[in-house]
Structure 1
Amino acid sequence: MTTSTAPAASTVPTTPVRTPRAWRALLPALFVAPASMGVSGPSLALPDAARELGVSAGSAAWLMTAFGVGMAVGTPLLSATAGRRGPGGTVRASGALLVLGAALVLAAGSLPLAVAGRAVEAVGAAGVTVAAFQLAGRDGTGRTSGIVAIGSALGGTLGLFAGAAVARAAGWQAALVLPLLSLLVLLPVLRLTGRATPRTGVATPGAAPGVVRPLDILRAPGFLAAAGLMLALSTVNFALLYAAPHRFSALTGWSPVRTGAVAALAALTGALLSWLLIRLAPRLGTRRTRTLLAAASATALLLAALAPWPVAVLLGSGLSALATAGGQGVLTGAATRGLGEERQGLGIGLFNLAFLTGVAAGPALAAAVAA
């Protein structure tokens, strides 16, 4: 799972930052990986949360849905912060929100307070993602952005196992605050940002700045088709992220920790294999690639939801991860192709909003079906 965001404005470092090149590439990835764990970490801890909070399993699913909603809301908000204050301001704001959200979760004795804490925590996680990709974009080659995307995907998949493990060791609330681990590298990341000031455009006398509206993006050829497919892929993927491990555990009788380990391995394998699909996409063409993505996601849903064999459930999870990660790589370009430089940022933001809507909707829909 990856959630890439485009910074609202570029920044110009005013103070040189003496950091080894390899560390400059790895730090943003290490920063974003724990934030991504917040999406999947609670999945196998939800039964314990429901029991202690005195609510149904379906109601406890809001602890996952709230994170997707918070990221969807937080991404544009923290992107605006990045534009005004640079990545350093975004890093500081994100760290404060992570701490505040985690404090609410750890103090929660009721579901509404825990859900509110998760939402605040997710806004902080969105800021971490925005800052990480903004820092990655400074190298101008795209390689660091790729490393950050891998870090995000690793965090999202390994969160299943990490959440189950920490819930067993320290209780269900610990599984809900895994994004706090991003704070371990917050100070080095702050040093990496240096002192940055937003780069503001200087208007040419007599020239009116162009105004890009969301409706302009939605009317662009191919955008709605690409974003709609991404929404579908994401919704299925995060519904399975919630439901598939529970079904696998029911079929095998395995513990949450063992289930989390194999579920994370299946999802990680699928995400890593997605690069094959991305490489094949130009040969297949747009229509065949989209048909393949939709078919893979539908097959994954059927396997994970209906197959009576545990291995088929894992296969469904891995296939969904492959389709979603591959879809992000292929459909982002399809959605923004032909938009023009002045509309690229908003186009990527709206496309990511479709992805994040699926992050929020998937667990809620899965819980509603299971109820």
Structure 2
Amino acid sequence: MDYLERHRTANGHGQVAPRRVATPWLALLAGPLSYGIAAPALLLDELARATGTGERAAAAGVTAFGWGIALGTPLLAALLARCGVRTALTASAALLAAGTILLVLVPTLPALVAGAAVQALGSAGLSVTAMKLADSPRRMGVVAASLAVVGATGPLTGALVADLLSWQAALALPLLAVAAVPAARRDATPPDAMPASFDPLGMALLAMLVTSAVLTPHRPLVAGPVTVALLVLLVVRTNVRPDGFLPAAVARNGRFLTACVLVFTVGLVNFTLLYAAPDLLREHAGWDSTRSGVVLLAPYLLGGLCSGFLIAASVRVPHRVTAAALLGGAVAAPLLAAVASAVPLLLAAMALASLAAATGQGVLALRATGVVPGSHKAEALGLFNLAYLLSVAFGPAIAVTLSHQTG
């Protein structure tokens, strides 16, 4: 019996069983997204000089990247569900490359903002595709750990690349994910079926909702009511078109929504502590930002690396126990940071928050996609990751508010 005969599927139609994309390729496909968030952290002064603006204006590029991944996650997940893995990978890689080219070739603030946004759309598509292809707890653990580890090392890596090459090279780091696209395309299967219709109004409502939600921490009096109104309109649209851009089978699933709320919570705690960490270490230890950045590698690397093992092991633990442990970590971490003054305890709080967020992203992604119909897995992943990414928008704003209140 030849190779193909040994690998026929059991359905009797003579189809060859598809190969799985190797786990290291999935990690490379997803992980570099975190460079877009973390790599510019120590480069704002250099970006301000290069674009002839102030540091706050230069930080608009980071904000644009955050908006892009929040918006791109559900949009590219919908493309993934509609057209399959290969089309999603091609479109995402093209967006990532186009955004990166704009970033590195046109050193102006408008180009920085636009390039970061387009780059983020592509990064989001590659990341959500990697999570869809991660079809086991172990593989999902590797994907989640790659995102966390790259995020932990991103600021230092960005600074080193900028010193050795240029700030443009540091901003181009998310492009590394494109190296995994050929392997993922080669081993991907065609889409099972094309949805019967497209829902442009539902897509537009979700895009506007994401935009207003991202702006809410910065303009709460304006963006907050708009977000609520758009949410109501999207619920109405889902009732009118249950098979539309936001499938009712996902939006009305209580267990899916619970997973989204929980991942938002653990992400919110993690990103709030991450952005509050320099002030806490300056207050209690007198450290400057550079020393704090190096020392913070330890807790966030620990959280990211350990999360991969915990996600793989979660399959042997009842879900309620896992959810309770994640929620307990999310509650304990800020309490410990609030009462502790010793540096080891502060670092322990940050490690706990990092561990809860990185583990929660992987474990709860498996839960969120496991409780919805298989035909809506890609959309569920997109909406789940959107819930996690929204914590990136709210966490820093909360940290700044708390700093001003205690300062």
Distance 1:56 1:295, change over 3 A: farther
Give a deviation string over 1:114-162, Cα, whole Å, max 9, x none. Answer: 232211111110121133334444xxx5654443333333323332331
| Pairing 1:211–2:206 present | no
Aligned to 1:325: 358
1:98 aligned to which of 85, 96, 99:
96
- SS class of match (1:200): coil
Instruction: State whether structure 2 residue 261 is matched by structure 1 residue 228.
Output: yes
Which of 269, 272, 282 is residue 305 of structure 2 equivalent to?
272
CA contact (8 A) 2:144 2:361 kept: no
- Please give the per-residue CA displacement for 1:306-351, whole angstroms capped at 9, x wherever unaligned: 7544434432321111111232244345556654445555444322
Render the CA deviation track for 1:263-295: whole Å, top value 9, x for unaligned.
233112123334558857976873x65554344
Quick one: which amino acid aligns to residue 53 of structure 2? G
Aligned equivalent of 2:9: none
One of 67, 75, 78 as aligned partner of 1:77: 75
Residue 171 of structure 1 and its aligned partner are, at CA, apart by 4.6
- 1 or 2 for the larger relative contact order (CA 8 Å, sep ≥6)? 1
Amino acid at match of 1:180: L
Q: How many residues align?
A: 342
Equivalent position to 1:123, from 83, 106, 121: 121
The offset of 1:64, in angstroms, is 3.1
- Of residues 176-185 and 316-325 in structure 1, the stretch that sits farther from structure 2 once superposed is 176-185
Preserved contact between residue 84 and residue 198 of structure 1 (Cα < 8 Å): yes
The letter for the 2-side match of 1:121 is: Q
Closer, same or farther: CA 159–245 of 1 in aligned 2, 3 Å: farther
The partner residue of 1:148 within 136, 143, 146 is: 143
Match of 1:200 among 193, 206, 209: 193
SS of the residue corresponding to residue 54 of structure 1 reads coil
TM, length-normalised to structure 2:
0.68
TM-score, length-scaled by structure 1: 0.73
Unaligned runs of 5+ in 1: 1-13, 204-208
User: Counterpart in 2 of 1:157?
Assistant: 152
For residues 364 and 25 of structure 2, what CA distance do their matches in structure 1 show? Answer: 27
Residues 135 and 111 of structure 1: CA distance in aligned 2, closer, same or farther (over 3 Å): same
Q: CA deviation at 1:218?
A: 3.9
In structure 2, what is the equivalent of residue 24 of structure 1? 22
Q: Of the candidates 155, 159, 176, which is equivalent to residue 181 of structure 1?
A: 176
Give 1:354 deviation, angstroms: 0.8
Following superposition, the deviation at residue 15 of structure 1 comes to: 9.4
Which one has a bigger Cα radius of gyration? 2
Alignment of 1:232-247 (within 5 A): 232-245=265-278
Structure 1 pair 225/148, CA: closer, same or farther in 2 (3 Å)?
closer
1:229-248 deviation line (CA, Å, top 9, x unaligned): 32122123223334425654
Is the CA contact 1:49–1:173 (under 8 Å) kept in the aligned structure 2?
Answer: no
Distance 1:167 1:294 in 2: 38
Could you list the runs of 5+ residues in structure 2 that have no partner in the other structure? 1-14, 197-240
Instruction: Please show how residues 326-341 of structure 1 align to structure 2 within 5 Å.
Output: 326-332=359-365, 335=368, 338-341=371-374
Alignment check: 8 A CA contact 2:78 2:382 kept: no
Q: Distance in 2 between matches of 1:153 and 1:214?
A: 30
